[in-house]
Chains A and B, each alone.
Chain A
Amino acid sequence: MADLLVVEDDKDIAELLALFLELQGNVVRQAEDGEVGLKMVRESYPDLILLDVDMPRLSGPEMAYRLIIEDSGKENIPILLVSGINNLAEVAAAIGTPYFLAKPFKLEDIQRLVHLALKQRQRPRPFPSPIHEGRGVA
């Protein structure tokens, strides 16, 4: 049994992910954006964060960077990115997490990656300069 945090602004997706992961025997908390997600992590550290990328107020990558900056063990929490953006692999590389899954996902893939992340516990190792996805300058 693991303590998981789902940070996802789509209520239906968050609810289904939580339901599935609870049926697998985990304890699951839900946050609707990065801001709420941060607050929940500060309350108690989860074993793994399932993190969406595009969210109002504070995006997934921004939340990940905040965790790393805030330090005190939060930077060691593994992150599984779950998102429908086109350049998900790039964003995952920027945060430095090896765990990511594109929407629309299959639950068996969620199960497999959650299992893998909990076993390996690889923490995010970001690039020196964060890449902010989706808003090119030029």
Chain B
Amino acid sequence: MKLVRKSSEATAWDPQHDGVEGAYEWLRIALRAAKMGAWAWDLNRRDKFIRRTEQYDRIFEIAPHQKWTRDLWIGRLYSEDQEITSQKMESVITGDKEEYDAEYRIVLPAGGLRWVNAWGRSIRDRAGKPVRVTGVVRDISDEKRLEQDREQFVATLSHDLRNPLSVARSSADLIRRYPDDVVRRDRLFKKIDFSIERADRMIQDLLDSSRLQSGRNLQLPMENSDLSDIVRAVVQEQAELYDGRIIYKVDGSCVGTWSKDGIRRLLENLISNAIKYGKVGGPVTVTLDRGAGEVLLSVHNTGNLISDEEQSMLFQPFYRAKFAEQGSARGWGLGLPLVRGIAEAHGGGAAVQSSLEAGTTFVVRLPIHKS
């Protein structure tokens, strides 16, 4: 076979020096880096045998020496994707199409689905008849999940923004209908103001999250103040909202440099999570512990165990814990990344502890700086 250098990438490989072995090594490195499996179908073989690489086996979860054929492959396709995927392959085998490109789900031996992307092309004989189809396959489940999470996020975001808009519109409507009722009018104006603030806060959360996702830190205006005052004010407001379910434990003052607005958003997020996902009607305890050079601000609720695996994921954007997905309460999946971002903007951090006996506690560590 004569090797022809076609592109600039091809020139990096010198057949004189590297030989076929070298080319094969390059291919292996490329496949491994891309986490791709490779496969080849010899169309002349009557048993429809498929040759494949180790990574292919890992994706399909097949034993290394297990015989693998086209029929077995079709048997693994998820029912909804079976027809379209095998049709696409058929048109390459018959020679109607040169290339094969498909995204489909496979059923794993132990149950469960995996999304894969497969790409391949046919090799023809002198008469133009396809004799072999070779290609690669890649696990795209994580990408698909992210895509779904983003879709869910946009749906939740638009839903949540419509609530303050409804309040503002209805209030304006009522003022227009009953212009002479002065007492009510003032209350309705306040509702309009409050709704606009609420919508603006959502937008602020969104912008901050996008900042955090791109790896930048939050820019929070800091000022000298007493942290226990800030925490007390937020807890009091939240206690009114949630009918006394919130217990507050704090001793003494804690003067330092804090972002008042940041701490407020951090606490509001943690408290509303504890209310939403904790035991129904159960207490939520906010504690402020002053240590040497730092404070620990924690929010505790009973109920809903968060597994070790989930604990590490919770602070990732768009991630929602299993119980959060199953419950009726919907969230953006941005609250906890924001909590961590605010803690980090103070030079601290955020963590979670959860057990069946002790319940769930989110702990925010904040170093005490004084300017």
B3 interface residue (CB < 8 Å to A): no
Q: Is the beta-carbon distance between B170 and A56 smaller than 8 angstroms? A: no
Cα distance A54–B158 when bound, in Å?
A: 13
Interface residues of A in 13-28 (CB under 8 A from B): 13, 16-17, 19-20, 23
B1 interface residue (CB < 8 Å to A): no
Cα distance A85–B328 when bound, in Å?
A: 14
SS class, residues of chain B in contact with chain A: helix
Question: Which of the residues A23, A33, A103, A106 comes within 8 Å of B162, measured between beta carbons?
Answer: A103
Find chain A residues with CB under 8 A from B165 CB: 103-104
Question: Which of the residues B166, B194, B280, B330 comes within 8 Å of A134, measured between beta carbons?
Answer: B330
Q: Is the beta-carbon distance between A16 and B327 smaller than 8 angstroms? A: no
CB A104 to nearest CB in B, in angstroms, measures 4
Find chain A residues with CB under 8 A from B158 CB: 84, 86
Q: Is the beta-carbon distance between A86 and B155 smaller than 8 angstroms? A: yes
Question: 1/0 per position for A27-71, CB-CB distance to B under 8 A?
Answer: 000000110000000000000000000111111001000000000
Question: 1/0 per position for A80-119, CB-CB distance to B under 8 A?
Answer: 0001111000000000000000111111100000000000
A136 interface residue (CB < 8 Å to B): yes
Q: Is the beta-carbon distance between B330 and A107 smaller than 8 angstroms? A: no
Q: Is the beta-carbon distance between B167 and A10 smaller than 8 angstroms? A: yes
B201 interface residue (CB < 8 Å to A): no
Find chain B residues with CB under 8 A from A135 CB: 325
Known A-B contacts A10-B167, A13-B163; the reply to A106 vs B148 at CB < 8 A is no
Cα distance A86–B163 when bound, in Å?
A: 13
B298 interface residue (CB < 8 Å to A): no
Find chain B residues with CB under 8 A from A10 CB: 163, 166-167
Q: Is the beta-carbon distance between A62 and B170 smaller than 8 angstroms? A: no
Question: 1/0 per position for B306-331, CB-CB distance to A under 8 A?
Answer: 00000000000000000001011110
Cα distance A104–B169 when bound, in Å?
A: 7
Interface residues of B in 156-197 (CB under 8 A from A): 158-163, 165-171, 173-174, 177-178, 191, 194-195
Question: Which of the residues B152, B168, B178 comes within 8 Å of A23, measured between beta carbons?
Answer: B178
CB A91 to nearest CB in B, in angstroms, measures 12
Question: 1/0 per position for B260-279, CB-CB distance to A under 8 A?
Answer: 00000000000000001000
Chain A: number of interface residues, binned into ranges: 20 to 34
Q: Is the beta-carbon distance between A13 and B155 smaller than 8 angstroms? A: no
Known A-B contacts A13-B170, A17-B170, A104-B162; the reply to A134 vs B152 at CB < 8 A is yes
Q: Is the beta-carbon distance between A105 and B166 smaller than 8 angstroms? A: yes
Known A-B contacts A19-B174, A84-B162, A86-B155; the reply to A12 vs B167 at CB < 8 A is yes
CB B272 to nearest CB in A, in angstroms, measures 11
Q: Nearest CB to that of B165 among chain A residues?
A: A104
Find chain B residues with CB under 8 A from A17 CB: 170
Q: Is the beta-carbon distance between A62 and B163 smaller than 8 angstroms? A: no
Known A-B contacts A12-B195, A138-B148; the reply to A56 vs B163 at CB < 8 A is no
Find chain B residues with CB under 8 A from A58 CB: 328
Q: Nearest CB to that of B330 among chain A residues?
A: A54
Find chain A residues with CB under 8 A from B178 CB: 23
- What are 15 A-B residue pairs whose CB atoms fall within 8 Å in the complex? A10-B163, A12-B195, A13-B167, A13-B170, A19-B174, A20-B170, A20-B174, A33-B328, A54-B330, A58-B328, A103-B166, A104-B165, A105-B170, A134-B152, A138-B105
The 9 closest A-B CB pairs, nearest first, are A84-B162, A104-B165, A104-B166, A103-B162, A16-B170, A107-B173, A103-B166, A84-B159, A56-B329
> Which residues of B are at the interface with A, using a C-beta cutoff of 8 A?
105, 113, 144, 148, 152, 155, 158-163, 165-171, 173-174, 177-178, 191, 194-195, 276, 280, 325, 327-330
16 other contacts beyond A54-B159, A105-B170, with CB at 8 A cut-off?
A10-B166, A13-B163, A13-B166, A20-B170, A20-B174, A34-B328, A54-B328, A56-B328, A56-B329, A57-B280, A58-B328, A103-B162, A104-B166, A104-B169, A107-B177, A108-B173
